[in-house]
Amino acid sequence: MSRTITFSQALNEAMAEEMRRDPGVFVMGEDVRVSAFGQTAGLVDEFGEERVLNTPIAENAITGAAMGAAMSGLRPVLELMFMDFTMLAMDQLCNNLGQWRYITGGQYTIPLTIRTACGAGMRMGYGHSQCLQSQLIQAPGLMIVEPSTPYDAKGLLKAAIRSDDPVIVVESKKLIFGGVEGEVPEEDYTLPFGEAVVRKEGKDVTVAAVGFMTYEALGAAQALAEEGVDVEVIDLRSIVPMDKETLFASVEKTGRLVTVEEGRIRGGIGAEIAALASGEYFSLLKAPVQRVAAPMVPIAGSPALEDLYLPNKDTIVRAVRRTL
Which residues are identified as catalytic?
Answer: 128
Contact segment (CB under 8 A) with other proteins among 90-98, 114-122, 170-178, 207-215 equals: 90-98
The CB-of-95 to other proteins minimum distance in angstroms stands at 5
Q: List the one residue from 16, 36, 42, 109 that touches other proteins (CB under 8 A).
A: 109
Q: List the one residue from 1, 106, 226, 283 that touches other proteins (CB under 8 A).
A: 106
CA distance 276 to 265: 16
Contact segment (CB under 8 A) with other proteins among 2-10, 94-102, 211-219, 298-306 equals: 94-102
CA distance 71 to 64: 10
Tell whether residue 56 is a contact of other proteins (CB under 8 A).
yes
Strands 181-185 and 231-235: unpaired
Tell whether residue 107 is a contact of other proteins (CB under 8 A).
yes
Q: List the one residue from 3, 20, 22, 103 that touches other proteins (CB under 8 A).
A: 103
For helices 213-225 and 313-322, the axis angle rounded to 10 degrees is: 60
Residue among 192, 185, 220 at smallest CA distance from 312: 220
Tell whether residue 86 is a contact of other proteins (CB under 8 A).
no
Q: List the one residue from 17, 31, 165, 181 that touches other proteins (CB under 8 A).
A: 165
Tell whether residue 82 is a contact of other proteins (CB under 8 A).
no
- Of the pair 92, 290, the CB lying nearest other proteins is at 92
Residue among 46, 119, 120, 117 at smallest CA distance from 86: 117
- Of the pair 65, 218, the CB lying nearest other proteins is at 65
- Of the pair 68, 179, the CB lying nearest other proteins is at 68
Q: 136 CB contacts (<8 Å, ≥6 apart)?
A: 86, 93, 94, 142, 144, 168
Among positions 185-244, residues that touch other proteins (CB under 8 A) are: 194, 240-241
Q: List the one residue from 27, 62, 145, 229 that touches other proteins (CB under 8 A).
A: 62
CA distance 42 to 33: 7
Q: List the one residue from 48, 127, 138, 140 that touches other proteins (CB under 8 A).
A: 140
Residue among 284, 285, 291 at smallest CA distance from 320: 291
| DSSP per position, 227-253 | TT--EEEEE--EEES--HHHHHHHHHH
Q: How many CA atoms lie within 13 A of 264 on its CB side?
A: 11
Contact segment (CB under 8 A) with other proteins among 52-60, 79-87, 130-138, 288-296 equals: 52-60
Among positions 238-297, residues that touch other proteins (CB under 8 A) are: 240-241
Residue among 239, 249, 236 at smallest CA distance from 202: 249
Tell whether residue 17 is a contact of other proteins (CB under 8 A).
no
Burial 239-263 (b: 16+ CB within 10 A, else e): bbebbeebbbebbeebbbbbbbbbb
CA distance 171 to 35: 14
Edge-to-edge strands, sheet with 143-145: 52-54, 25-29, 75-82, 113-118, 167-172, 143-145, 238-240
Question: 111 preceded by cis ω (within 30°)?
Answer: no
Q: List the one residue from 91, 181, 195, 230 that touches other proteins (CB under 8 A).
A: 91
Tell whether residue 34 is a contact of other proteins (CB under 8 A).
no
Tell whether residue 303 is a contact of other proteins (CB under 8 A).
no
Q: List the one residue from 108, 126, 177, 281 that touches other proteins (CB under 8 A).
A: 108
The CB-of-172 to other proteins minimum distance in angstroms stands at 24
Q: Which residues are near other proteins by CB under 8 A?
A: 26, 50, 55-56, 58, 60-74, 91-92, 95-96, 98, 100-109, 140-141, 143, 163-165, 194, 240-241
